[in-house]
Chains A and B, each alone.
Chain A
Amino acid sequence: MTLDLPVHAIAHARAGDKGDVSNISLIAYLDSGWDTINELATEKKVLDIFKHLGATKVQRYELPKLNALNFVIENALGGGVNSSLRLDRHGKTLSSHLLHELILPISEDMIPSNSPYQEKFKDTKS
């Protein structure tokens, strides 16, 4: 069975900036999680998550040997580190936003054994 959970349950991420372009990696903890993010973490879904910040285009790159995706998001940083009015001018916190907003169908085997997200499945069993 699967539950709809934030991708935070099965992957980690880091955001970087170059000018007004943000790049956010999305890395599955386990091979089982990789298949899900590779299939379902699409450019469109990621663009929808950052559209309200001005994002106009998302390019996705895949690194299957590392269980990793890299999203390059254009115009997401309010002009970039030197001209943005945002508190977080680099967009460093955008990785957390992706982990929170991208909801995917997740099964227990995709979640690391020591993760607090395992609790979600215990609830469904009892």
Chain B
Amino acid sequence: MNKKVYIGCGAGFSGDRFDASIPIVREFKKIDGPKYLMFEVLAERTLAIAQQYRLKNPEEGYSPFLDSYITPILDDCLENNIKIISNIGAANPMGAAKRIIEISRKQNTRKPKIGVVIGDDLLDYMSNEEILNSPTMEGLDFSNNKITAANVYLGAQPIAEALSKDVDIVIVGRTVDSALALGPLIHEYNWKKNQLDLLGSGTICGHLLECGAQVTGAYFADPGFKDVPNLANVGFPIVEFNSDGTFIITKPIGTGGLVNKATVTEQLLYETHDPSNYLVPDVTADMTNLKLEYVGENRVLVSGGKGKKPPEKLKATICCDNGFMGEAEISYAGPNALARAKLAGEVILERIQILGLQGQIRVEIIGAGSVHFSIDETSSYELPKDGDYRVRTSAIYPQKDQAQQMVDEVMSLYCCGPAAGGGGRGYVTPQSSTASILVERSKVDPNILVKMI
């Protein structure tokens, strides 16, 4: 007999809309059957920042947006048996769980039972030297850097294990995004490790969900060419999964956006390299035989997901401090603005040379295809001589004051640059660089724990 499992995604990145999950929860209240709400809020850099918070205060280090995501839906989820699965734990999953208990206390809900997955933080069981001496997949030499975060991507099994303890909520740190959906599916269908096609289908399902509304018409609209209705109220995705590994992607009734073969295909290939080898700890998913069918308004049936043996080793991301970036901008508009903007860029580059600031620097002109060309490249776009152009300069230096010096130089164009430059803005931000290493499972597996709170 077919058993349906429902999974919604309420956030696709750290800072995604805080109210997006409310329509999903409203929809779920009408449905019987296992229901899960995932929040994916952890980017590569988010974790390094979260580690800094935890170092300052051991209670912190979970997602700074936790309250904003959890507060609006916690009571409804607990009352309607909607289980929450999230990597909102960031650098401190246990801290996140404790914070959720606090919120439940304030809201007078019943006390949630929370499963917390520990074991992604390599610094807990590997030495700095061991981590830094591992070859990076990018070929970068990180051996002289100071590590700010080192986390291995866990899979879906620990989430499934937590769910087997009858919890309301599962909190993880670094875990592959798609596992937030695969974990519940493994738990509900009791899939074994050798049911590779099902694990592959579940991973593809998670991959389609993990960026929230990017599968339901967001990040898609190109007015006149690809129109999307009511984008301001775009609905976040809901999957109706079937026992045979097929699933329907849809969105809550009454929301904006669009689900069709085109929106699903764009998201399928988003951040995918070889579609026949999509690597996660649980399986190597294969998308190449996937079939998409439009089976109803805003409903796409996905079938044909396959899976192969999972990769032998696990991927980890390490973050290190990497100096400071200065960024500064100034605008030129009206007659001959393009020439004045170009002159401003040349002056900046010459001044940086005079000051002897060593480091990579880039000048680009916003309005002249800045995101595709720097000032010394010929833009392929037709550019009017008169117009509205903004010169942007960026550079990374080891020291904060060097970055500030670069910013100050751009600001000096107020008085020392070409005619009528205005709207100057500049700022300096600390930078971290990341690299990936591969870690033996035998090193990681004994350290994975599911703690209950």
Q: Is the CB of B262 within 8 A of A53?
A: no
Q: Which residues does chain A contribute within 8 Å of B288, judged by CB atoms? A: 63, 65
CA distance A88 to B360 in the complex (A): 16
Q: Which of A70, A82, A88, A94 contacts B269 (CB 8 A)?
A: A70
The interface residues of chain A lying within 8 Å CB-to-CB of B370 are 87
Q: Is the CB of A53 within 8 A of B372?
A: yes
- Please pick, from A14, A68, A83, the residue contacting B219 in the complex, using a CB distance under 8 A: A14
Any A CB within 8 A of the CB of B386 = no
Per-residue contact bits, chain A 79-92, to B (CB 8 Å; 1 contact, 0 not): 01111011110000
Binary contact track B428-453/A, C-beta < 8 Å → 1, others 0: 00011111100000000000000000
Q: Tell whether, in the assembled complex, residue A68 and residue B269 are in contact, meaning their CB atoms are under 8 Å apart.
A: yes
Say which residue of B222, B271, B287, B395 sits within 8 Å of A85 (CB atoms): B395
Question: Residues of A contacting B371 with CB < 8 Å?
Answer: 86-88, 93-94, 97
Q: With A12-B226, A63-B288, A116-B225 in contact, is A82–B266 under 8 Å at CB?
A: no
A18 contact from B45, B273, B291, B394, Cβ within 8 A: B273
Distance in Å: Cβ of B148 to nearest Cβ of chain A? 11
Chain A, range 1-55, C-beta contacts under 8 Å to B: 8, 12-14, 16-21, 23, 25, 27, 29, 52-53
Choice from B45, B224, B276, B377 contacting A81 with Cβ under 8 Å: B45
Interface residue from A8, A12, A16 paired with B272 (Cβ < 8 Å)? A16
Given the complex of chains A and B, what is the CA–CA distance between A88 and B114 in angstroms?
38
Task: State A87–B319 Cα separation when bound (angstroms).
Answer: 21
A113 within 8 A of B: no
Q: Are B266 and A65 in contact (CB under 8 A)?
A: no
With an 8 A cutoff between CB atoms, is B412 at the interface? Answer: no
Q: Report the separation of the CA atoms of residues A96 and B381 in the bound assembly, to the nearest whole angstrom.
A: 12
Q: Is the CB of B392 within 8 A of A87?
A: yes
Q: Which residue of A lies closest to B266 (CB)?
A: A14
B322 at the A/B interface (Cβ < 8 Å)? yes
Say if the beta carbon of B87 comes within 8 Å of chain A: no
B372 in complex: contacting residue of A8, A27, A97, CB < 8 Å: A97
Identify A14's interface contact among B44, B269, B380, CB under 8 A: B269
Cα A115 to Cα B372 in complex, Å, equals: 26
B268 at the interface (CB under 8 A from A): yes
* CB closest residue in chain B, given A19: B138
Task: Tell whether, in the assembled complex, residue A23 and residue B433 are in contact, meaning their CB atoms are under 8 Å apart.
Answer: no
Residue B164 lies at the interface, judged by CB distance under 8 Å to chain A: no
A: interface residue count bin: 35 or more
Give the contacting residue for A52; candidates B270, B322, B373; CB below 8 A: B373
Q: Is the beta-carbon distance between A17 and B396 smaller than 8 angstroms?
A: no
The smallest C-beta distance from A46 to any residue of chain B, in angstroms, reads: 14
Q: Which residues of A have CB within 8 Å of B319? A: 82
Q: Does B361 make an interface contact (CB < 8 A)?
A: yes
Which chain A residue lies CB-closest to B359?
A: A85
Contact residues in A for B401 (Cβ distance below 8 Å): none
Check: B42 CB closer than 8 A to any chain A CB.
no
> Which residue of B has the minimal Cβ distance to A93?
B371
> Which residue of chain A lies nearest to B287 when distances are taken between CB atoms in the complex?
A63
Is A121 located at the chain interface by the 8 A CB criterion? no
A28 to chain B, nearest CB (A): 10
Among A63, A85, A115, the residue within 8 A (CB) of B394 is: A85
When the two chains form their complex, are residues B364 and A25 in contact, meaning their CB atoms are under 8 A apart? no
Contacts of A12 in B (CB 8 A): 220, 222, 225-226, 262, 266
Question: Using an 8 Å CB-CB cutoff, how does the interface string of B33-66 with A read, 1 for contact, 0 for none?
Answer: 0000000000011000000000000000000000
How far does the alpha carbon of A21 sit from the alpha carbon of B272 in the complex, in Å?
Answer: 11
When distances are taken between beta carbons in the complex, the residues of chain A under 8 Å from B362 are 78, 85-86
| Chain B residues whose CB sits within 8 angstroms of the CB of A25 once the complex forms | 265-266, 269-270
- B225 near A23 (CB under 8 angstroms)? no
Does B266 lie within 8 Å of A66, measured CB to CB?
A: no
Give complex CA distance A8, B268 in Å: 19
A87 to B364, CA, bound (A): 8
> How close is A114's CB to chain B, nearest CB, in angstroms?
9
Nearest CB of A to B176, in Å: 13
Partner of B44 from A61, A81, A93 at Cβ < 8 Å? A81
| 9 extra A-B contacts, CB within 8 A, seeds A14-B270, A61-B274, A87-B370 | A16-B271, A23-B272, A25-B265, A59-B274, A80-B434, A81-B44, A81-B45, A82-B45, A115-B225
Closest 3 CB pairs of A and B: A16-B271, A25-B269, A85-B362
**Interfacial residues, chain B to chain A (CB-CB below 8 A):** 44-45, 137-138, 219-220, 222, 224-226, 261-262, 265-276, 287-292, 304, 319, 322, 325, 360-362, 364, 366, 370-373, 377, 380-381, 392, 394-396, 431-436
